[in-house]
Amino acid sequence: MHKLNKWIQNLLLAFIMSSSLTALFFSTPYAFLKIKVLQIPASMIVFFILSILVAEDVRNSFKKVFRYEQRKDKRSIWQVGVGMLFYFSQVGIVEVFFRSWMEPELGGMPLYLVISFLNAFIMTVIYEEIFYVEEIHQPR
């Protein structure tokens, strides 16, 4: 389960990096950046492959910055990290594939950000129930 957890987190992180770069470069006037293969931007495919190569290092650097290994209670920072992955991957999907969904607002805030936050919260709770292993040290 630990390897599957790490694999899912690395793929989500690679998707976040590739969708961010694709959304950033998609608004440029260069036509070759807007080429699509099966409705997927070709630049995203290239960025995704490159992002997979560095995703593990990026994830480990985040752990070092937030001093994950030195914490007594790792659960709270783990929840924040997984929630961030789910939130930004949903935002990336909207920015790359469904740009028309970026227009509706809820009280001045883009609606896709609100829905992504709510979905990320629920997905984090479900993901935690499946993958988070809490070490309980009880005397025998």
Mean pLDDT of 6-32: 85
What is the token pair recorded at 1?
């389960």
pTM of the model: 0.77
Helix, strand, coil shares, percent, the chain, to 5: 70, 5, 20
- Position 14 scores a pLDDT of 92
Question: How confident is residue 54, by pLDDT bands cut at 50, 70 and 90?
Answer: very high
Closest by CA to 123, choosing from 2, 7, 9, is 9
Q: Which of 18-22, 37-41, 136-140 has the highest mean pLDDT?
A: 18-22
Q: Which one-letter DSSP state was computed for residue 29? A: S
Percent of the chain with pLDDT over 90: 7
**Neighbour-count burial of 55, counting CB atoms closer than 10 A to its CB (0-12 exposed, 13-18 middle, 19+ buried):** buried
Mean pLDDT of 24-33: 78
**What is the Cα–Cα distance from 1 to 24, expressed in whole angstroms?**
35
Closest by CA to 115, choosing from 100, 125, 101, 127, is 101
In this predicted structure, the answer to whether residue 87 has a pLDDT above a threshold of 70 is yes
In this predicted structure, the answer to whether residue 135 has a pLDDT above a threshold of 70 is no
**What is the Cα–Cα distance from 92 to 22, expressed in whole angstroms?**
9
More confident residue, 28 or 45: 45
